[in-house]
Amino acid sequence: MNQIRIYEDKLYKNGLADLGMPLLGSLDAYLVWNRDHSACAPLENVFERLNINALIFSQPAEPYRSIIEYLAETSSGVILPQDCETRTFLHDLPIAYQFTEDAIVSTLKERKSVIIPGHGIITYGTVSIEQAFVTFSSVCFACFVKFFCDALLNSKKGKLDDRQQQVFDQVLKTLDPPVSFDRSLLKGPFDSETKVYAAIQEAGRLAVEHRLVDSFFGNISFCYGDTLFISQTGSSLDNLKSCIDPCPLDGTSCASITASSELPAHLKIVKNTENNAILHGHPKFSVILSMDCEIENCDCSGKCHIKCPHERFVCGIPVVSGEAGSGPHGLYKTVPKALKNGPGVIVYGHGLFTVGVDDFNQPFKNLLEIENNCRREYFNRIKNLG
């Protein structure tokens, strides 16, 4: 029950669900729910038919609710976001048009979530309630990005119909205000590993609190001496205690086995620049504008996230392609080079990297400012098209 309450609270704090709305269940020796609800009985049967130990069912909070209802209404049984999180983690977002045990089970056998119009989103975990939370957050993020990408594209083509415009106007009324932050983070240069750990945890927590990172996506690192201290893969940036790996620059440790999948990019940045602090978040409007491309009939259409050959900028920030890890199209080949002469770099459909020399003050400031600039630019583009 303690774990259930932690993730129920996270749904509220992250603006993903309204107070009293989510239904969370977790199975250990027996099945426990956070509250009584008429859906408990049919969902108990879902537990029996699937190999799961946790489930979240909730209507999302606004603006996600209106966005997801609209996308479900205008999609043919499946929503197809194009951001990199969805490509690698969710694949697509299936819709079930009836709240029935069979519809829920058959969908969740194939995917990590199911959207039921008029009812909400159901996600599950096979190991912990955290998995269900991560998927719920990711569905909301993916739908937000898709909705605003589609609205901009349809505005350009003169295809923004009355229904889409109506939902767009309604969604704007419930958007969070632009992020603001007027105090300092821990100041470097740091003189101990203890202070490095504290600085990483503080910056990660603030990035989540200011909604510059969703679910467990994003990563953070600091190079101290000959060691890069980096968040573990799959860790939540607002809870990095015991989730930071010390990775020697010379590779003389196996700590990198559990380190962020973007370790190769972080290592190349600190080895080839003067920067020691790296912050990678997924602020929404930076991601949205990274996917707004003017080039038509491109040979790389559909593969933009892997190998875009064109030089592109958003609000003066370079946009590059690349995938996490050390593969042939890894971010380590594109991000470090693009960071040499500016405050940050946006990865197509993926997120934003910012860097600093002595601490996380500049990276956090740049992350926030670039996102706010992208937000203003987005609505300027919409306004000019109107």
pLDDT of 285 reads: 96
Q: Please identify, among 139, 172, 205, the residue that sits at the C-terminal boundary of a domain.
A: 172
The pLDDT confidence band at residue 306, using thresholds 50, 70 and 90, is low
Q: Calculate mean pLDDT across residues 200-204.
A: 96
pLDDT of 357 reads: 96
Q: Same structural domain for residues 226 and 129?
A: no
Q: Calculate mean pLDDT across residues 105-116.
A: 96
Report residue 17 as tokens.
């669900």
Q: Same structural domain for residues 205 and 101?
A: no
Q: Please identify, among 141, 172, 203, the residue that sits at the C-terminal boundary of a domain.
A: 172
Residue 133 lies in a domain: yes
pLDDT greater at residue 262 or residue 201: 201
Residue 366 has pLDDT above 80, yes or no: yes
Q: Same structural domain for residues 236 and 114?
A: no
Q: What's the pTM value of the predicted model, to 2 decimals?
A: 0.94
Q: Same structural domain for residues 138 and 218?
A: no
Strands 344-347 and 317-320: parallel
Q: Same structural domain for residues 272 and 367?
A: yes
Q: For 135-158, what is each residue's pLDDT tens digit? A: 999 999 999 999 999 999 999 999
pLDDT of 215 reads: 57
Containing domain of residue 290, as a range? 195-385
Query: CA-CA distance, 359 to 44, in Å (whole number)?
Result: 48
Residue 189 lies in a domain: no
Nearest to 243 by CA among 270, 223, 225, 216: 216
Torsion, CA 342, CA 344, CA 346, CA 347, rounded to 10: 100
- Structural domains counted in the chain: 2
Query: CA-CA distance, 77 to 149, in Å (whole number)?
Result: 20
Q: Same structural domain for residues 134 and 268?
A: no
Q: Please identify, among 172, 204, 236, the residue that sits at the C-terminal boundary of a domain.
A: 172
Q: Same structural domain for residues 106 and 231?
A: no
Cβ partners under 8 Å of residue 313, min gap 6: 319
Q: Same structural domain for residues 72 and 211?
A: no
Q: Same structural domain for residues 165 and 236?
A: no
Yes or no: say if 88 and 347 are a contact pair by the CB < 8 Å rule: no
Q: Same structural domain for residues 133 and 224?
A: no
**Percent residues over pLDDT 70 in the chain:** 96
Residue 269 has pLDDT above 80, yes or no: yes
- For 89-95, the CB contacts below 8 A with 24+ separation are 89/138, 90/135, 90/138, 90/139, 90/142, 93/139, 93/142, 93/143
Angle at the Cα of 87 from the Cα atoms of 282 and 268, rounded to 5 degrees: 55
Yes or no: say if 61 and 51 are a contact pair by the CB < 8 Å rule: no
pLDDT greater at residue 342 or residue 194: 194
Residue 218 lies in a domain: yes
Q: For 73-90, what is each residue's pLDDT tens digit? A: 999 899 999 887 777 778
Residue 22 lies in a domain: yes
355: phi then psi, degrees, rounded to nearest 5: -140, 160
The answer to which of 167-176, 227-236, 373-382 has the lowest mean pLDDT is 227-236
Residue 190 lies in a domain: no
The answer to which of 62-66, 80-84, 129-133, 345-349 has the lowest mean pLDDT is 80-84
Q: Same structural domain for residues 234 and 378?
A: yes
Residue 184 lies in a domain: no
Report residue 259 as tokens.
């380190």
Yes or no: say if 279 and 352 are a contact pair by the CB < 8 Å rule: no
Q: Same structural domain for residues 97 and 245?
A: no
What CATH number does residue 341 fall under?
3.40.225.10
Residue 177 lies in a domain: no
Average pLDDT, the chain: 92
**Percent residues over pLDDT 90 in the chain:** 74
pLDDT of 328 reads: 76
Residue 203 lies in a domain: yes
Residue 381 has pLDDT above 90, yes or no: yes
